[in-house]
Amino acid sequence: MPSTAKGHGREWTTADATTYYGLKNWGGRHFSADDAGFLQVHPLGDHRSIRIHDIVTEAIGKGYKPPLTIRIQDLLRTRVVELNQLFDEAIQDESYGGKYRGVFPIKVNQLREVVEEIRDAGKAFHYGLECGSKPELMIALAMHKDPESLIICNGYKDDEFIRLALFGRKLGKEIYLVVEQLSEVPRIIQISKKLGIKPLIGLRVKLSTMGEGKWASSSGEDAKFGLTSPEIIDATRRIKRAGLTDSLRLVHFHIGSQVPNIQTIKKATVEAARFYCELKKMGFPMELLDVGGGLGIDYDGSRSNYESSMNYTMREYARDVVYNVKTVCADADVEVPDLVTESGRAIVAPHSILVTEVCDRISKKSVPPKKTAASKKQNPVLRDLNAILENEHGSSPLERFHDSQQKREEANNLFNLGYLDLRERAQADAIYWKICEELSNLSKNGSYTPEELESLPAMMADQYVCNFSVFQSLIDHWACDQLFPIAPLQRLNEEPEVDATLVDITCDSEGKVSKFTDVEDVRQTLKLHDLKPKEAYYLGVFLVGAYQDIMGDLHNLFGRVNEVHVFLEDDEEDGFYIEDSIRGFAVSDVLGFTQYDGHILTRRMKKQIDRATKDDEIKPREGTRMLDEYAEFLRGHTYLAT
Ligand SMILES: *Cc1c(COP(=O)(O)O)cnc(C)c1O
């Protein structure tokens, strides 16, 4: 952590902000602070940059207020190009005899504009698509244009799924049905016979190498996917017997998402390459090894094997896959396969930024309690609490903490029994919080902190109320404890002096963010700036483009947020333009999902207003206005309008 201006008489600069918010750590070449204290994104990782605050301002001008998802489309392209180039480089450096033929797994972000951008960015590399369900296959079939790129079909497959994939074969697409369950083999054989279309078949192997990290259960003996080695033997027999020997060409594995440790990836690659070699030796015309997903994102920037990080780079990943497959094949004297990866998270996470506005602040720190008028005798419990505050007995911090807890409980009991009035109860609470604040400051500055006092800074932190829903926009944080980097979009040249946690606007106590990324460990609070009246304070949540980007739910009926898609543009003054915008849900949309019809609701309101008007409870003009506003709010946004 940077030394603060206060402690060292030194001005806080944007360099301090860069360090504190970890911009270079999780953001690599893509995020920085400019001299005026604004956070900027570098979509191509070079000098060209866009102030995120400018995007927000322009979006608001177009009627798209935060909460706002900003997609930096050029950053998405950059990731696609990077992955392909790094594999091509590794293949050259290793003099590897095969090609790289990556695919994007649609499930990681299905939004049309995202899939289109990825497909277009990958065109030069014949980058393909992966799908795991019928709807995703339908997207893949229609969106896929390049006959030299692959479509890989994973996931559970019914007969309709298999038929659809075979239609793709008829259209000249190189589309693989990857067998996840043994029972799919006879069905693939039967349906392809019936349609007279030869399938391309892959086998997903259940590796003994266990994944690591949050999504480890995608692999290993208990995984719900893939074939065990006896099942593979069984599958190959059936395929041979059906005269489809020529169809089996691919081995696939997927050890789970966000693999933090490169050793896991190396081990899995070696094991899968062994399966590949054995199948080739059994006489199948094997040509592809698909190493699935798992390529991580360094959310906390620590370059460690902690679950929100990764101890390797994309370059290292590409090299290790290429090198290990090459070595295994050389040992087995088998020609190397073309390599497929299904990296999703690593491609899409960085391009999406969630912007939320801080709309309120909840603080336990109240104004210093006023002493009761001398005329009134002070309750002994208040006197005792004050004595702890003044530390009249020269006690240790831990003693003072225990004493104050005891006295506060006493005060609450006295209040419940009627011996303390509301004013006195308020004083007791305020003194108690004052003591906690003091102890919390002591523990922040001191070298050693007893365990019981460690939670004090988090307990005393202010809560910044942010206009968004965790359940819509940060669902992985709520559901899987996934950490995302968070930083203010402005004032990075000012020292942030408030220790804060974030709460959302849902009526759910789980709707909060109280864990933050840090290079070391996990932070319990985040330093933010004091709010200024009449000046919007925006926070950006970063690397949010994978999975949860599109998964949000309707808790409290907030639903989807506004969204803008941004492109670099040198001819524009601020270096960008907004190509597309997607409106978040209107109130009438979310009501529709729960079977309410806006017209019927309005009619019901009208009936009640008419009656109240007739009964002279409201004036006719007032009634009309109420109804107009009701109808207007139905069309309006679900989130706070201020
Ligand atoms: C989810 C999934 C992926 C994507 O994994 P990432 O870790 O996001 O790259 C790839 N392949 C399969 C089979 C998957 O289920």
Domain that holds residue 152: 76-348
CA of 294 to the centre of ligand 1 (A): 6
Same domain? 83 vs 43: no
Same domain? 128 vs 49: no
* CA-based nearest residue to 432, from 373, 365, 379, 485: 365
Q: What is the mean pLDDT of the chain?
A: 93
Same domain? 172 vs 311: yes
Per-residue model confidence as pLDDT tens digits over 483-500: 999 999 999 999 999 999
CATH number at residue 224: 3.20.20.10
Three-state DSSP at 300 gives coil
Q: How far is CA 267 from CA 98, 218, 272, 321, 362, in A?
A: 20, 15, 9, 10, 49
- Has residue 270 been placed in a domain? yes
Is omega for the bond preceding 67 within 30 degrees of 0, making it cis? yes
Tokens of 55: 């995007």
Q: Which residue has the tokens 């309707």?
A: 554
- Which amino acid is it at 273? A
> For residues 266-280, b (16+ Cβ closer than 10 Å) or e, as one string?
bbbbebbbbbbbbbb
CA of 118 to the centre of ligand 1 (A): 16
Residue 445 has pLDDT above 90, yes or no: no
CA of 180 to the centre of ligand 1 (A): 14
Question: Last residue of a domain, which of 348, 375, 397?
Answer: 348
- Has residue 577 been placed in a domain? no
Q: Is 106 in the pocket of ligand 1 (CB under 6 A)?
A: no
Question: Last residue of a domain, which of 322, 348, 374?
Answer: 348
Q: Is 131 a catalytic residue?
A: no
Same domain? 253 vs 137: yes
Per-residue model confidence as pLDDT tens digits over 80-127: 999 999 999 999 999 999 999 999 999 999 999 999 999 999 999 999
Residue 368 has pLDDT above 70, yes or no: no
Is omega for the bond preceding 485 within 30 degrees of 0, making it cis? no
H or E segment to which residue 129 belongs: strand 128-131
Three-state DSSP at 116 gives helix
Q: Is 254 in the pocket of ligand 1 (CB under 6 A)?
A: yes
Tokens of 503: 């709460």
Alpha helices in 542-619 (DSSP H): 587-593, 598-614
Residue nearest to atom 5 of ligand 1 (CA): 293
Same domain? 19 vs 122: no
CA of 258 to the centre of ligand 1 (A): 9
Q: Residue 338: which residues within 8 A CB-CB, separation 6 or more?
A: 98, 99, 100, 101, 287, 288, 289
Same domain? 171 vs 214: yes
Same domain? 284 vs 231: yes
User: What is the rounded average pLDDT of the residues 461-483?
Assistant: 94
Residue 519: per-residue pLDDT: 85
- Has residue 413 been placed in a domain? no
Same domain? 48 vs 93: no
Residue 305 contacts residue 260 (beta carbons within 8 Å): yes
- Has residue 559 been placed in a domain? no
Same domain? 52 vs 83: no
What whole-number distance in Å separates Cα of residue 346 and Cα of residue 324?
A: 21
What's the number of domains the chain is made of?
3
- Has residue 34 been placed in a domain? yes
Residue 2: per-residue pLDDT: 46
Per-residue model confidence as pLDDT tens digits over 210-256: 766 776 767 666 677 899 999 999 999 999 999 999 999 999 999 99
Q: Is 342 in the pocket of ligand 1 (CB under 6 A)?
A: yes
- Has residue 158 been placed in a domain? yes
Question: Last residue of a domain, which of 305, 324, 348?
Answer: 348
Q: Which of 110, 179, 257 to mutate to test the pocket of ligand 1 (most atoms within 8 A of CB)?
A: 257
Q: Is 290 in the pocket of ligand 1 (CB under 6 A)?
A: no
CA of 154 to the centre of ligand 1 (A): 10
Residue 584 has pLDDT above 60, yes or no: yes
Same domain? 254 vs 290: yes
Q: What is the dihedral of CA 183, 189, 194, 200, to 10 degrees?
A: 120
- Has residue 552 been placed in a domain? no
- Polymer length of the chain: 642
What is the value of pTM for the model shown? 0.93
Radius of gyration of the chain (CA): 30
- Has residue 112 been placed in a domain? yes
Same domain? 161 vs 51: no
Same domain? 164 vs 304: yes
Residue 151 contacts residue 104 (beta carbons within 8 Å): no
Left if phi > 0, otherwise alpha if psi is -120 to 50, otherwise beta: which for 283?
left
Residue 558 has pLDDT above 70, yes or no: yes
Q: Is 292 in the pocket of ligand 1 (CB under 6 A)?
A: yes
Q: Is 294 in the pocket of ligand 1 (CB under 6 A)?
A: yes
Per-residue model confidence as pLDDT tens digits over 41-88: 999 999 999 999 999 999 999 999 999 999 999 999 999 999 999 999
